[in-house]
C-alpha cells in the first residue's frame, strides 16, 4: 500500500469522497503541516497551530495510481481559493498535498501543471513534504457514514458526493 496526505477543505468531505474510490484501502482524517505535537480539533480550528485538516489515503497502486488520486483531488475541490472551501474559512481548510518521497513529489508537480490547465485562476495549493500526520479524534473518523442526517452532511457533503459520482464514476468501487 502507498499513502498520500491531502487537504482540501473539511476532512469529512474528502474522507467521504475517497472512501468511494476503487483501490483506496482506507482514509483517515487528521492534521498535518503545523507546529506542536498531537493537536486537538479545537486547537487546529483556532488557527494557532498552523495544521490543516487532511486525509491520509492508503491505496493499492496496482489498482489506482497516485496520478489518478491527484486527478480526483484537483477535480473535487477548488484549489484556487486560499484558506477556504465554500463556507469553511481558515488556514485549516487550505488546499495542500503532503508527499512522502521524491517520486511522489515529481508526480504531484506534474499533476499540478495539468490541473492548472483546468482553472482560470492560479492554483494556490501548498505542496510540502510530510513531517508528521496526526490522526483526528475518533468521532471524526467515518463521519459521513455515521452521521448522514447531520446538516453539514446533507448540505455540503451530499452534493459533493453526487457531483463526484457523476464526474468520476469510472473510479468508483463496484458497490457505489
Query: Is 10 labeled as catalytic in the residue annotation?
Result: yes
Whether the Cβ atoms of residue 137 and residue 93 lie closer than 8 Å to each other: no
Active-site option among 10, 13, 45, 153: 10
Active site residues: 10
Amino acid at each position: 500500500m502507498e499513502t498520500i496526505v491531502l487537504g482540501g477543505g473539511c476532512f469529512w468531505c474528502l474522507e467521504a469522497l475517497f472512501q468511494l474510490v476503487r483501490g483506496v484501502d482506507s482514509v483517515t482524517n487528521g492534521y498535518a503541516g503545523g507546529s506542536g505535537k498531537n493537536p486537538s480539533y479545537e486547537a487546529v480550528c483556532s488557527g494557532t497551530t498552523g495544521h490543516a485538516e487532511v486525509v491520509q489515503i492508503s491505496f493499492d497502486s496496482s489498482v489506482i495510481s497516485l496520478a489518478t488520486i491527484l486527478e480526483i483531488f484537483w477535480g473535487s475541490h477548488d484549489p484556487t481559493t486560499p484558506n477556504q472551501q465554500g463556507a469553511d474559512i481558515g488556514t485549516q481548510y487550505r488546499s495542500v498535498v503532503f508527499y512522502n518521497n521524491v517520486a511522489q513529489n515529481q508526480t504531484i508537480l506534474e499533476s499540478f501543471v495539468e490541473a492548472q490547465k483546468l482553472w482560470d485562476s492560479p492554483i494556490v495549493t501548498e505542496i510540502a513534504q510530510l513531517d508528521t500526520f496526526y490522526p483526528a479524534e475518533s468521532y471524526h473518523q467515518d463521519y459521513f457514514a455515521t452521521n448522514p442526517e447531520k446538516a453539514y452532511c446533507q448540505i455540503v457533503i451530499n452534493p459533493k458526493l453526487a457531483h463526484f459520482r457523476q464526474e468520476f464514476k469510472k473510479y468508483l468501487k463496484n458497490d457505489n
